[in-house]
Amino acid sequence: MSLTYVTAKEAAALVNHNDNVGFSGFTHAGCPKVVPVEIAKRAEEEHAKGNPFKIGMFTGASTGDSIDGSLARANAVKFRTPYQTNKDMRNAINAVEHDPIQYFDMHLSQVAQEIRYGFLGGVDVAVVEACEVTESGEIVPTSGVGIMPTICRLAKKVIVELNDKVPAKMRGVHDLYELQDPPKRRHINIFEVQNRIGLEYVKVDPSKIYVVRTSEENEGSGFAPVDEITAKIGENVANFFVSELKKGNIPPTFLPIQSGVGNIANAVLASMAQNKDIPRFEVYTEVIQDAVLDMMQKGHISFASGCSLTLSNEAMDRFYRDLDFFKNKLVLRPSEISNNPGLVRRLGVIGINTALEADIFGNVNSTHVMGNMMMNGIGGSGDFTRSAYISIFVTPSTAKNGMISAIVPKVAHEDHSEHSVKVIVSEYGVADLRGKGTYARAEEIIENCAHPDYRPLLRDYLNLSKKGHTPQNLYACYDFHKAFLETGSMLNADFSKYKK
Amino acid sequence: MSLTYVTAKEAAALVNHNDNVGFSGFTHAGCPKVVPVEIAKRAEEEHAKGNPFKIGMFTGASTGDSIDGSLARANAVKFRTPYQTNKDMRNAINAVEHDPIQYFDMHLSQVAQEIRYGFLGGVDVAVVEACEVTESGEIVPTSGVGIMPTICRLAKKVIVELNDKVPAKMRGVHDLYELQDPPKRRHINIFEVQNRIGLEYVKVDPSKIYVVRTSEENEGSGFAPVDEITAKIGENVANFFVSELKKGNIPPTFLPIQSGVGNIANAVLASMAQNKDIPRFEVYTEVIQDAVLDMMQKGHISFASGCSLTLSNEAMDRFYRDLDFFKNKLVLRPSEISNNPGLVRRLGVIGINTALEADIFGNVNSTHVMGNMMMNGIGGSGDFTRSAYISIFVTPSTAKNGMISAIVPKVAHEDHSEHSVKVIVSEYGVADLRGKGTYARAEEIIENCAHPDYRPLLRDYLNLSKKGHTPQNLYACYDFHKAFLETGSMLNADFSKYKK
């Protein structure tokens, strides 16, 4: 039986108002790029005719502008989960209207299972990017996986963007396996970062496949160069690891590293490469960025397991060129496996994630600016933090030219609790919270991580209320944030007014 | 080789100032009862002589008054982890002095591994309760396990309270297994609640054992009878389960249940037993309470896995009497296995825990009254909540005769984030947060769970700030708590002053 080939516009016509649509990929990597734009156009046409047209959106993580941007601008979104980084989508989520897009911000490892369990509604259509699709229904993903196996299996229609810019030699990079559901399911058969348990492709009934031929570039942008502050954060993390190795807290063969998304994560890995006392290590993470590629080529990283290759276009080209080198040193998995808390714990993964702000007691905000505006979402940070061998959060001590302190009396929104956050690192140093009481933790964070300009203010706050295990003062705890909202700088917080 | 028998006073003399001491048990169950009292006396004697005497304390969870009460009253505690429920210990932790006891409030499943990893300092002495100890060094626990395998292996000296009030026939109830450490460790071989993977005893070098013969009663107290409110909460949970079964969200064979500690947990189980539409089920939990025993005898529960038998003395006697009946329907495991998040996820455990307060966006406070006073600790609630098939929090809608609302604008301390909390249940109803955006979640919680007297106030708060994904207002978010602190009732909160 031969496959059905359609245009992007014809494919978009397969999507109806109120459908729940699942998209492949994780970050911009592996996302479809042409059909979502056509769905957005279709929405605009229907809206122009006075007809409703909105879809529910399931993804692996964030997507490219073709998905989140197009559909948000077209006002075509009924709900969105689990994570986004797109400006237009973010603006819609934070709009003055009451939640015009129902956005639910989920732990990424839970998305596929909650879809399977039936908690989130069905999947009507899957739109996925592939570098190969066969007449027997084998679909080979491109540079990102996300929730692709689950949405392809459950969807009534599977629209495949067959992208000829991605070499078909990518076949073999992926390890695609969908978890069983409880009760009485078996364990996941991964005991080492490089273990493979699944197939190279997702296989579905070919009669439900609609193929759209595309020729689209990777949507990756470059990384900002490592600056002095991110370099110093990286160095502090690397030195912390060396000290843990010396104490025997980390085994001499080291442990797999997870590192979050963005420039700081890149800088941390670069510092680890530069440090002679850190042995070659493995990566068990969600997003494989440029630094990992460099370090694999230089021999600092022996193997990388992730959910996506989130690379700059330059690095993506390099990857394709050297595919034979990378192919047996790297595996891309579905997000429910790349981010699986049980595996993170079993493998002893060390988690390194970025905090938006942390408080002096060790609670971390990863999502909300000033407590109300959604930035991106929790992403995989909770999947790793709660289960990691050591959970580290990194952050520059200040933002907005020093007007915002990343270390505050109380986080304005909390995504990771003091119980799960073990180490905080800024460019000033390392706060090691393990085995410490409240005041000792506060001292570590203030003296080692806060910017020196903010330390006196944070000490003032700590000394305001002497009673209670956690001397939080509900009258004063958001004075940093209020000072910023009122005067443009947290430095104008003043706790003297509370003193009797 | 014969074992060394000592008196409790002689055993206490084996403990030195600055030692880290690990105690067996979980809740009062399985805790030593005589030696800790003698250690406290020794501390008082040393203090009277002007000598310092403080110990670090590792336990499975809370303990009996013999441990936490005696040692807190003797001012003999250097640090305490992971959980406590004792009045004198709690007062010390919340004292005006800066953290006189370094208390660190940990996820219970992490205690044994963090001790092994070396993060918390060594274990000098283990003090454990047993119903049998052999000359070859086999130690059989009593009604609770906690971190016993790890502390017995690591401690230089193991003091065993051999309690003749506990029948030696308890041998066989326990399944004792200590996890391997990363890297390259295998999976935990438990695929069904009843699977056994370890030994009936902990085995150590007999030359490090010191046996103290005791004859101590169980320290269990009874449960308050189920009142109208807890009964209604139980009924709401049971009805929610029936509705999930009908939708196919829970498989017809049901899933293992975890239920927290205390009267509400007991009431929830009792309601499940009364509901004809809920099939016989299994329990995978930390604490096995009276209700579980009743339901096993009546056939509602087919098997129970836990870390302790936290029973009233009446139920404990019943258990001992019918040991042959219970022995193949029940297993007691170390806390790193009873609470293991990887197993909780694999088995599809449904978690039911009690909230101190929840906010209208679905964040939960389990630990701190008014944000600063430590109640008990997070206990195992995080181990289960973050990994459960469905995570449920239960709470009466109000406390203190209605002066405190359990549903607040913003929790004063956060232990479980909106990302992990899926369902909230009060005596008024069920808020199902799955797949809902912020405002829809707030509406579910306010209209279904809050006390009707508080609903208008909560709606006022929700409508104060219309901008942002989460319309939190940092000026007004603690007005419920401030009204209670200033006037004795949260009902006096008034958001009209913020309206322009």
- Distances in Å between the Cα of B362 and the Cα atoms of A359, A415, B240 are 21, 12, 18
Mean pLDDT of A63-78: 97
Interchain pair B382, A417: CB under 8 A: yes
CA distance B355 to chain A (A): 15
- Of chain A, the percentage scoring pLDDT greater than 70 comes to 99
Question: Hey, which residues of A are catalytic here?
Answer: 286
Question: Tell me, what's the ipTM?
Answer: 0.97
Interchain pair A465, B372: CB under 8 A: yes
Write down the domain spans for chain A: 4-214, 228-455
pLDDT at B391: 98
The CA distance from A423 to A419, in Å, is 11
Interchain pair A256, B183: CB under 8 A: yes
Q: Which of A79, A103, A102 is nearest to A20 (CA)?
A: A79
B458, two tokens: 């909560």
CA distance B237 to chain A (A): 17
* Number of inter-chain CB pairs under 8 A, A vs B: 260
The CA distance from A309 to A301, in Å, is 15
Interchain pair A253, B475: CB under 8 A: no
pLDDT at B1: 66
Residues of B in contact with A412 (CB under 8 A): 472, 474
Mutation site for B-interface testing, chosen from A372, A384, A480 by largest number of B Cβ within 10 Å: A372
CA distance A435 to chain B (A): 5
pLDDT in tens, A353-380: 999 999 999 999 999 999 999 999 999 9
The CA distance from B356 to A148, in Å, is 39
In contact, B39 and B17? CB cutoff 8 Å: no
Look up residue A279 and give its DSSP letter. P
Report whether A380 belongs to an annotated binding site. yes
Q: Which residues of B are part of a known binding site for CoA?
A: 376, 380, 400
The CA distance from A295 to A270, in Å, is 8
pLDDT at B63: 97
What count of other Cβ atoms lies within 10 Å of the Cβ of residue B496?
Answer: 7
The CA distance from B500 to B496, in Å, is 9
What residue in A sits closest to B57 (Cα-Cα)?
A435
In contact, B369 and B93? CB cutoff 8 Å: no
The CA distance from B130 to B113, in Å, is 23
The CA distance from A96 to A381, in Å, is 28
CA distance B6 to chain A (A): 32
Tens place of pLDDT per residue across chain B (500 aa):
689 999 999 999 999 999 999 999 999 999 999 999 999 999 999 999 999 999 999 999 999 999 999 999 999 999 999 999 999 999 999 998 877 899 999 999 999 999 999 999 999 999 999 999 999 999 999 999 999 999 999 999 999 999 999 999 999 999 999 999 999 899 999 999 999 999 999 999 999 999 999 999 988 777 677 899 999 999 999 999 999 999 999 999 999 999 988 889 889 999 999 999 999 999 999 999 999 999 999 999 999 999 999 999 999 999 999 999 999 999 999 999 999 999 999 999 999 999 999 999 999 999 999 999 999 999 999 999 999 999 999 999 999 999 999 999 999 999 999 999 999 999 999 999 999 999 999 999 999 999 999 999 999 999 998 789 999 999 999 999 999 999 999 999 999 999 76
Mutation site for B-interface testing, chosen from A185, A417, A472 by largest number of B Cβ within 10 Å: A417
Question: CA B423, B426, B430 angle in degrees (round to 5)?
Answer: 45
pLDDT at B261: 84
pLDDT in tens, A203-221: 999 999 999 999 999 887 7
pLDDT in tens, A265-300: 889 999 999 999 999 999 999 999 999 999 999 999
Confidence of residue A263 (pLDDT cuts 50, 70, 90): confident
Length of chain A (residues): 500
Class of domain B4-214: alpha beta
pLDDT in tens, A142-179: 999 999 999 999 999 999 999 999 999 999 999 999 99
CA distance B477 to chain A (A): 9
Interchain pair B469, A368: CB under 8 A: yes
pLDDT surpassing 70 at residue A500: no
Say whether B228-453 and B4-214 share the same fold.
yes
pLDDT at B291: 92
Report whether A18 belongs to an annotated binding site. no
What residue in B sits closest to A179 (Cα-Cα)?
B346
Class of domain A228-455: alpha beta
Q: Which of A26, A286, A304, A12 is nearest to A147 (CA)?
A: A26
Look up residue A410 and give its DSSP letter. S
Give me chain A's average pLDDT, please.
96
pLDDT in tens, A316-330: 999 999 999 999 999
pLDDT at A1: 66
Interchain pair B103, A471: CB under 8 A: no
Nearest neighbour of B99 by CB, restricted to A79, A370, A439? A439
Residues of A in contact with B446 (CB under 8 A): none
Interchain pair B96, A466: CB under 8 A: yes
CATH superfamily of B228-453: Glutaconate Coenzyme A-transferase (3.40.1080.10)
Inter-helix orientation angle B263-274/B290-298, to 10°:
20
Point out the catalytic residue in the list B161, B235, B244, B286.
B286
In contact, A471 and B372? CB cutoff 8 Å: yes
Mean pLDDT of A115-135: 98
pLDDT at A221: 74
Confidence of residue A94 (pLDDT cuts 50, 70, 90): very high
Interchain pair B104, A437: CB under 8 A: yes
Nearest neighbour of A467 by CB, restricted to B81, B255, B372? B372
pLDDT surpassing 80 at residue A140: yes
Mutation site for A-interface testing, chosen from B372, B375, B484, B498 by largest number of A Cβ within 10 Å: B372
